[in-house]
Each structure stands twice: as C-alpha cells, then as structure tokens.
Structure 1
Amino acid sequence: MDDPGADLDMLERTYGRFRLVNAVVSNPRAVYRRWIRPRLSPIETRRVLDIGTGGSDLPQAMLAWARADGLRLEVTAIDPDERAIAWARRRPPVPGLVLRQVTSRELADAGERFDVVTSNHVLHHLDGRELGALLAESERLAAGGGLAVHGDIERSRLGYALFGIGTLPFAGNLLADTFIRADGLTSIRRSHTAAELRAVLPAGWRVRRGFPSRLEVIWGASG
C-alpha cells in the first residue's frame, strides 16, 4: 500500500474494507471508551486528530459513537497520501469529519492543538528518526493538557499465525483483490514488541498492552 505505483483499484478496495478488518484487529471501540470518551463534553466540541487515517473508517466510527453518547466531537483526519484522502472525500460526508492531505509536522508548525492525537497502524511504517519526529510532533499538537495515543500491532508468532489463519477463509472473497492479507502479514513482521518500544521511547511516553496483540504508546495521561 505504501508503494506509489500500487494498483489503484486494489488500493481503493482495501480502503473500503478496512472498516471490517479494523473492527476486529484494532479494537477501536475500546480505544474510544478508554481514551476518547472521557475527554468529550456534551457542551463544548473537543478536537481529535487522526494521523495516517487511510480511508477514515476509524474517525467515522468515533464520531458515530460520540453522537450516540450525546457528546460533541470534531475529528481532523490527515494523511499525506493523496490517494487516501481522495477516496475518503468521495464517501458521503460525515458531520464533524475534517479530511486534510497534510502531515502532522505541518499542523504542529502551524500551531494547531488537539485534545487527543491518535493513530492506528502507523508506527510500524516508521524508521527510528521518523518515529521520534512523530512523537515530538504529537507532544506539540497535544500541548496544554491533551493526550496522545498511538495504537499498533504487537509483533508475535501467535499474532502472525492467528491473522494468517483468520484471514485465509476470506482471501478469495471478502479480501480478494485487496492488500489487506498480504500487507497485514508484512505489517506484523515489521511491528514492534513492547520491550523494543520501551527501549526507544523518549521521556514522558509509555507503552500499554491491549487486546488483541495490541500496543498503545501514550503521552499525557496517567490512566
């Protein structure tokens, strides 16, 4: 999916089916309940930034849950890949969703501030320098009492085996002609363990394990 020359039809089918896969492997409802919902208000609109949003399925889910809870939320969903933002902009509009083709550095340099800065499955795409930059930018974007929480896969043989087995029955139908299965297995191999992340995180950041085979890298929260 990172390849600029990737087949566009396959890429767009992948964006369209992320919602189903993320609902299982990313546990987004738990992320919303633990980190997002406690910071929302029924009176004042809170701002969340989703970095590397892809097809924006997770921000859309957050907004739906917040509406159901009677809470006011605006999510700025960003991705530097014009293909992702173009696909997301062709979907029906969602109240409270702001789509931007921009980087977290550009927003931080512009002085933007958010109540929560989040990402999903971004960290394993980054080298050491890029990871450090993302964390520093997250601190700037959440400055003044905000929270940053970046969710990713935890690398393990069991997680790799379960994803491979769990997606195999759908390889010829639901996941056919998408990058989800192949890229998912590659992503697990490229991801970190909790110990690896703890060894490189700057001061003020911590790692929390989640389910299933999840890691959360957190700044600005004591819970």
Structure 2
Amino acid sequence: MGFLTRRDEQATEQMDRPDCDPVLLNNTYRQFRLINAVVAGWRRTWARQIRPVLSTSRTTRLLDVGSGAGDIPRAFLRWAARDGVALEVTAIDPDERAHAYLAALPPAPGFTVRRAHTADLVAEGAEYDVVTSNHVLHHLSATDLASLLTDSEALAGRLAVHSDIARTRLGYPAFSVATLPFPRSFIREDGLTSIRRSYRPEELRAVVPAGWRVEAQRPFRTLLIHRG
C-alpha cells in the first residue's frame, strides 16, 4: 500500500462537496454515532484526559468544534451526568448542512448549537474550559490547522483535545472491510479518503507549534493535546 506512505492532501471527501447527495449525507450523519462509538475512542479519552479537569464545584463549559452529527458532544453530556459533574456543551460547525442536522436533534439540557468558526468565538471574547474536536484535523490545510490551534489556545482555559485518525497500513483495509455493512451513505468511501488524508503521529509533531503534545492512541488514533 504505497499510496499510504504520504498524506494525500488532494483527496476530497464526498461530504465536503457542496453538491453531494443530501440523502446520502443525512444517512452518513445518522450512522456516525455507531461508527464513532466503535473507532473514535472517546470514552477512553474522556476518562483519561477530559474528566480529570472537570470541576466538581461549578459548571464546566466545553466547546466541540466541527461537531458534524453531534454524537460526540452529546455523549460528553451523558458521561458527565453519570459522573455527577455539571457540564454545558456548545457544538459548532460552519457547514450549513451539518448545522441544520445538529439544530434538528432533540433538545438536550446543557446542549447548544451554533453555526460558527472558532475565529468567530475568539472575536467575541468567548471562553471555555475545554475545547474538543473529532476527525477535523485531516480536513484542514496547513494554514487552517495553525488557525485552529491558535484559536483553541485562546478559547480553552484548561484543556484542548483534538482527536483524529492515524494513517496506518493496517487501519485502511480493516476499515474497508468493517464498513461494508454501511450502505447508502458516505461512511466507507469518505472514511477511506480520511485515512489517506490523515497524519501519522510523527508527521503531526513536525507541524504543530510548541505547547502541543501528540499522543498515539490504540488502535489507529492520534490525540493532539494542549493544557492551559
């Protein structure tokens, strides 16, 4: 699999195309909850990275960037409730289609949806305790990645955690086979494109600024972490 030797920065996911099939797009959003529960590893990241910085005496404010279908930030609210800590989550996505999907979700206490970029919130002087994202980094150009990290530092008072796929020779065929049962969506096609676009840990270390730590997380994950 020589094509995995380097990041394929030119590959484009179907979901990112403005003229993509809206039915397949909404099916993809609906299927995210299942696929992320299996591959994204956020329950472990919550326990090891996020839960330890949450306050037991006041409400913690968390910003989730590029929230897509909203399954990850809503999971944070469920886990916080189980752990007995107060949490408010703001989910942002600049894509009008993702925002429409998020806005149509059933209301949940402490869950707010906005169509916005992180730069918009910085300009407003917004402050959060924690900033997170899932599968956002590989979408970004070098300039946009730098902007996201600068904004994250400005917005996150305690912790920023950006989780993404790690490009591996084993992960690509494993995902290809595992997602065969996901018809009528972009899950399989875009997931394989995402792997081709994603960083290996050493590649991400080479491009992030000082103060950010890259951690490999099994299986096939990379965490980018900054502590305030």
TM-score in terms of structure 1 length: 0.93
Give the secondary-structure state (helix, strand or coil) at the position aligned to 2:171: helix
Q: Give the equivalent residue in structure 2 for 1:194.
A: 201
Q: Distance in 1 between matches of 2:109 and 2:28?
A: 24
Mapped to 2, the partners of 1:197 and 1:149 lie a distance apart of 14
In 1, distance between residues paired with 2:223 and 2:27?
Answer: 27
1:87 is aligned, of 101, 107, 110, to: 101
Higher relative contact order (CA 8 A, sep 6+): 2
Distance 1:131 1:139 in 2: 13
1:114 to 128, 134, 141: 128
1:76 partnered with 2:76? no
Task: Answer yes or no: is 1:57 the counterpart of 2:71.
Answer: yes
How big is the shift at 1:197?
0.7
Aligned runs of 1:49-198 on 2, under 5 Å?
49-142=63-156, 145-168=157-180, 170=181, 175-198=182-205
Counterpart position of 1:207: 214
- Residue 220 of structure 1 corresponds to which residue in structure 2? 227
Distance 1:89 1:123 in 2: 23
Corresponding residue of 2:45: 31
Distance 2:145 2:194 in 1: 16
Q: Which secondary structure state, in structure 2, belongs to the residue aligned with residue 75 of structure 1?
A: strand
How many percent identity over aligned positions? 54
Q: How many residues align?
A: 214
User: 2-side partners of 1:31 and 1:100: how far apart?
Assistant: 24
Segments of 5+ residues of structure 2 without an aligned counterpart are 1-14
Rounded to whole Å, the distance in 1 between the matches of 2:93 and 2:58 is: 26
* Partner residue in 1 for 2:9: none
CA deviation after TM superposition for structure 1 residue 91, in Å: 1.6
In structure 2, the partner of 1:14 is 28
Q: In 2, distance between residues paired with 1:136 and 1:91?
A: 30
Cα RMSD between the aligned structures? 1.0
One-letter amino acid of the counterpart of residue 183, structure 2: A
Match for 2:111: what amino acid? L
TM-score, reference length from structure 2: 0.91
Structure 1 ranges of 4+ moved more than 6 A: none
> C-alpha distance in 2, partners of 1:199/1:36?
25
Q: Which AA in structure 2 matches 1:35?
A: Q
Deviations 1:28-81 (A, max 9, x none): 111111122112234311011100000100011110111111110011100001
Separation (CA, whole Å) in 1 of partners of 2:77 and 2:218: 22
